[in-house]
Amino acid sequence: MKMRLTRCFNFAGKVSSALSPAAGRKRRLRQTILICAAVAAGSATAGFEAQGAEKGAWITTWAATPAPRWSDDLPAPFGVPEVLENQTVRQVARISVGGNTVRVALSNAFGAKPLTIGAASVGKAGKDGDVDQATLKPLTWGGKSSVVVPPGAPILSDPVALPAEALSEISVSIFLPK
């Protein structure tokens, strides 16, 4: 799978801003993109199924809570830009439970507009925010490499074979074309 990585926002480390001060408040108000990722691992010891999961046990092994857009008076936290366009967001997650298969849940819970995912991938995390290329796998939704997440909705990826040990790090990269 080929993904354009024009600028990677690594939320595990320092986050850099893609917006100049000249972009202005109007542009930031027009679009708000919220991405919340949860990684679910297939494990024989798990007793819960993710919504829409095939038969088998799924357990959430890492999650971030969706949150509403911050107020106009409060600057974006941690230097995260409010608008991401033609960008890849990479989240490195230290998972708690290992397994042989993963799924990724994305949420547009507080979005006012549809969220377009142009492409996404998952793999074992490498050093300094890199991805172990030997383990890199594309994410799909219903067999398709891109998906539009409606406002207020979550989406769950298809299962991906990716053996990972408990307490290891998984890297999820999501390309946002607009």
pLDDT-derived band at 1 (thresholds 50, 70, 90) equals very low
Total-model pTM: 0.68
Q: How many domains does the chain have?
A: 1
Torsion sign over Cα 177, 33, 18, 138? negative
Percent of the chain's residues with pLDDT above 70: 61
**DSSP string for 33-84:** ---EEEEEEE-TT-----TTPPSS-EEEEEE----PPPPTTSPPGGG--S--
Please report the pLDDT score of residue 83 as a whole number: 78
C-alpha separations of 110 from 68, 89, 90, 115, 140 in Å: 5, 18, 20, 11, 23
Per-residue b or e along 51-71, where b marks 16 or more CB atoms closer than 10 Å to that residue's CB: eeeeeebbbbbbeeebeebee
Nearest-angstrom CA–CA distance, 127 and 93:
13
Domain annotation covers residue 2: no
Domain that holds residue 114: 8-176
Domain annotation covers residue 24: yes
Domain annotation covers residue 1: no
Please report the pLDDT score of residue 13 as a whole number: 35
Span 26-40, average pLDDT: 45
Domain annotation covers residue 157: yes
Span 150-155, average pLDDT: 95
Domain annotation covers residue 3: no
Domain annotation covers residue 123: yes
Domain annotation covers residue 12: yes
Nearest-angstrom CA–CA distance, 31 and 151:
12
Task: Tell me the pLDDT tens digit for each residue of 89-137.
Answer: 999 999 999 999 999 999 999 888 999 999 999 999 999 889 999 999 9
Cβ atoms of 126 and 171 within 8 Å: the answer is: yes
Domain annotation covers residue 31: yes
Residue 57 tokens, joined: 């046990």
